[in-house]
Structure formats: C-alpha cells, structure tokens
Amino acid sequence: MNLSPEMLTLVMFGGLLVGLFMGHPLAFVLGGVAVVGAYLGPGERVLGTIINNIYGNAMDNYVLVAIPLFVLMARFLNDSGVTEKMFEAMRLLLANLRGGLALTVVIVSVLLAATTGIVGASIAVMGMIALAPMLKYGYNKELSTGVIMASGCLGILIPPSIMLILMASYSPVSVGALFAGALVPGLLLGAMYALYVLVICLVKPAYGPPVPAEERANVSTGELLAMLAKYVLPPMTLILGVLGALFTGIATATEASAIGVGIAFLLFLIFGDRKLTTCFRTLIDASKTTAMVMLVLVGATAFTGVFSRGGGMTVISELVMAMPGGTTGALILMLFLVFLLGMFLDWTGIVLLSFPIMLPIVADMGVDVLWFVVMVAVVLQTSFLTPPFGYALFYLKGVAPKGVEIIDLYKAVIPFCALIVLACLLMAFFPVLITGLPSLLMDR
C-alpha cells in the first residue's frame, strides 16, 4: 500500500493520538506508528535509512552528552536538602508581606529552575514544603496551587535546561545563544508571576494573609541573614558557575554541565546525608530520566523520518504557507499548533516532532530562528499546565493534602496560562527581549 502524503499525514498523527489516549508510552507509540507508516507510505525499505540516521546523526550528537550531566546535577541538588532550607529562609524574609509565602514560592522556584531544570522535581518539592503552610495560613486554594505549578514549570525555560539543550541539538542555534535568548523571557515570566501575586493579594487581602508576627519575631535579623548566606548563596554559586562558564566562553555546554555536576556534588556533601545509598539512588534516578529522553528521541527520529520520506513535510509546509496573513499568520498557526500539542504530548515529543517540520519553514520565511525557538519554549510552559495531560497538574495532585481536588488545579492554572500568552505577545512586539542578550554576549 502506498498512501498519498495527505492520507499518510492523517494516519500517522491519528495513530499517535490513539496510542497516547490508550495510555501507551510516548517513545513506543512514536516508534510503532513510524513502522506502520513506513509500510503504508514510502515502503519498509525506508526503515533501514531511518536506523542509520538514528545511530549516525541523532545519537552521535556531542551536545546531547550535556543532558545526563544536567540531570545528574539536578538530582544531586535535590537530594542535598538545601531546597527546604532555602525556602524557610526566604519565607521568614518575606513573612510580613501580604502574599509573602506565594512570593517565596516564585523566588525559590526561579532559583530551582536555574539549578535543577526538572519540572517534576521542582513542583513535587514545592508542593510538599509550601502548599500545606499556605493553606494553613489561610491562602486562597487556587492561588496557592497555581503559583506552585506555574513557577515550577520555569525549570524547562530558565537555563541551564535540558529542553533548551535538546532544542539546540535539533536547530541551527548554538546552546550558548539559546541559553542567553531564553534567560530574559524566563526571568520575565517569573517577574510576571510575582507581580500577579502582589496585585491579587493587594486587591483581595484574604487571598494571601501575612504570617503571624510572633513567628517572624522568633528569628532575629542576624539569624535570618546567616540563613540567607548559608542556604541561598550556594545555589547562586551553582548558577553563576554554570552560566558564567558558558557565557564567557570558558566552557562549552557539555563542559559547563560537568562543572555544574561538580558544584552540585559538593553541595550534596555539605548539606546532604552523604550516604552511599542516597548517591546510588541519585544515579539511578538520573539514569532513568536520561533513558526516557533518549528513547523518545529515537522514536521521534523514526517518526519524523518516515513522515518526511512519505511527503508529510510538504503537506504541512503547504498548509502553513497557505494561511491568511502571510508570515504573521503562519507563525501564529505554528505556535498555536505547539499549544495544542502541549495538551496531549510532553515537551520532548513536541520538540522532536515539530522542529524538523517547522524550522525549515521558519528559515524560508526569513524569520530569526533563535526568536522562534525561544517563543516555542515559552509556549511549551503551557504544556505542563493545560488539561487533559498537563503533567504539573498530576505532579502536584500526587503530593497535595486532602481537600485539594483536580478541578481546583484546573481552575488554578487559568490566570497563569493567560500570563504566558501575555509574555508571548510582549516578545512578539519586542523581539529584543529574546535577541538582545545573545547579541551582547556572543556572536551567534
């Protein structure tokens, strides 16, 4: 059987959605649909070419070495226990402020995003140490859960991020330029979340009452400054060590990730339990995450390879270019498709599926590829928040206390998704927010 490109497009994407709704793992759905698509479209002989492409190109990419190292860095930092102590120090610092606990969540999540880059870990940790205190002090349930989920998702946007590394390996943009381009949008989103917390608690004081004065009085100013120096400065050292080495040109992304692992391991030795069993568990967890990413990479490479050989790329390109509004209309359609895919796929699958299709179109239109890639990264913030498969919803539901229902989480993400859309509009009208820092730091 030799399906037309149009029918092959419908069959492959339809099969992808059916497989996911049946609950099968993304990597195996992508690979399975690729095999079926090969027999229905370009023929089984194409599979040999696909296998050569997986081993000769996808798996031979030196940049991907940074992924297991950054994952290991995140695990060491998470197991060091410094996150809980950092949250406590920031909570006491902002105790007298309305919405101070929610603001603390944003600030600590931004620091975690720049040190761990793993959304699940950030949301689970903040959910366990911050949600119960916020509900205890009378914080609004939707504000409490929404700020934890949205702020936790910054881990895939603020560098160093394994998503940005994967994006760089599938685009003509260097890792350093992509890190620099995503830094300002990531911090901008964090600032918007913090401003939202301050405004909503000012307009509706009952949403975020201050911590009782007697609790703050139990810790002197000197003790608080000592806590800040002990528990906030070390993660900042990790951030500056990794990004500083990369932006100054001292190290490549892979080398910078190794520097990060070294610093994170030192923090684990200083603040962690230093048990061999903990180290072993850290290595196993990092290996599982790396294996998951690599399996999805193999499946997605097979899927896009068969899809391209079957003429699907041409179908999508013609559809996008036929959009009314010219280049603007085409860009809006592509970003909207990324948003829709985010409801059903995780970011790994979306990047590996969309980049081979969209980036050639973007380059042909004369659009700055760096700007587009960062815009996709910002839109992918919603992939963790939007039902039915928003992973942040399930991460937080798994650690939330009784009384927090899934419908509460669905309502909680609405204002934060609106803020993400607003950030996209700002970057569309002011591209310098993305391109300014890379042009200052490096020759792209």
Nearest to 232 by CA among 96, 84, 118: 84
Structure confidence at residue 423 (pLDDT): 95
Q: In this structure, are residues 206 and 140 in contact, taking their beta carbons and an 8 Å threshold?
A: yes
Structure confidence at residue 443 (pLDDT): 53
Structure confidence at residue 444 (pLDDT): 44
- Per-residue pLDDT of the chain in tens (444 residues, 90 and over written 9): 678 888 888 888 888 888 877 878 878 888 888 888 888 888 777 777 777 777 766 666 677 777 788 888 878 877 887 877 888 888 888 877 888 889 999 998 888 888 766 676 678 778 888 888 888 888 999 999 999 999 988 988 988 888 888 898 888 888 888 989 999 999 999 999 999 999 999 999 889 888 777 766 777 778 888 888 888 888 888 888 888 887 777 887 788 888 888 888 888 888 877 788 888 888 888 888 788 878 888 888 888 788 778 887 777 777 777 777 788 888 998 999 889 888 877 788 788 888 888 898 898 888 999 999 999 999 999 988 887 777 788 788 877 888 888 888 889 999 999 999 999 999 999 999 888 877 777 554
Nearest to 64 by CA among 223, 221, 296: 296
Structure confidence at residue 372 (pLDDT): 95
Structure confidence at residue 188 (pLDDT): 94
Q: What is the Cα–Cα distance from 76 to 71, expressed in whole angstroms?
A: 9
Q: What is the Cα–Cα distance from 156 to 276, expressed in whole angstroms?
A: 29
Q: What is the Cα–Cα distance from 150 to 152, expressed in whole angstroms?
A: 5
Q: What is the Cα–Cα distance from 435 to 428, expressed in whole angstroms?
A: 11
Q: What is the Cα–Cα distance from 145 to 147, expressed in whole angstroms?
A: 6
Structure confidence at residue 116 (pLDDT): 66
By CB atoms closer than 10 A (0-12, 13-18, 19+), residue 96 is: exposed
Residues near 313 by beta carbon (within 8 Å), at least 6 away in sequence: 307, 356, 357, 360
Dihedral angle of Cα 364, 366, 367, 368, to the nearest 10 degrees: 110
3-state secondary structure the chain: CCCCHHHHHHHHHHHHHHHHHCCCCHHHHHHHHHHHHHHHCCCCCHHHHHHHHHHHCHHHCHHHHHHHHHHHHHHHHHHHCHHHHHHHHHHHHCCCCCCHHHHHHHHHHHHHHCCCCCHHHHHHHHHHHHHHHHHHCCCCHHHHHHHHHHHHHHHHCCCCCHHHHHHHHCCCCCHHHHHHHHHHHHHHHHHHHHHHHHHHHHHCHHHCCCCCHHHHHCCCHHHHHHHHHHHCHHHHHHHHHHHHHHHCCCCCHHHHHHHHHHHHHHHHHHHCCCCHHHHHHHHHHHHHHHHHHHHHHHHHHHHHHHHHHCCHHHHHHHHHHCCCCHHHHHHHHHHHHHHHHCCCCCHHHHHHHHHHHHHHHHHHCCCCHHHHHHHHHHHHHHHHCCCCCCHHHHHHHHHCCCCCCHHHHHHHCHHHHHHHHHHHHHHHHCCHHHHHHHHHHCCC
Q: What is the Cα–Cα distance from 200 to 198, expressed in whole angstroms?
A: 6
Q: What is the Cα–Cα distance from 427 to 114, expressed in whole angstroms?
A: 21
- Cα 409–chain centre separation: 19
> Which tokens belong to 320?
């996008």
CA distance between the termini of the chain: 46
pTM, entire model: 0.83
Q: Does 388 sit behind a cis peptide bond, omega within 30 degrees of 0 on the bond before it?
A: yes
- Cα 39–chain centre separation: 35
Instruction: Tell me the one-letter amino acid at 369.
Output: V
Q: In this structure, are residues 103 and 194 in contact, taking their beta carbons and an 8 Å threshold?
A: yes
Which CA distances in Å does 257 have to 159, 231, 377? Answer: 11, 22, 20
Dihedral sign computed on CA atoms, order 155, 160, 166, 172: positive
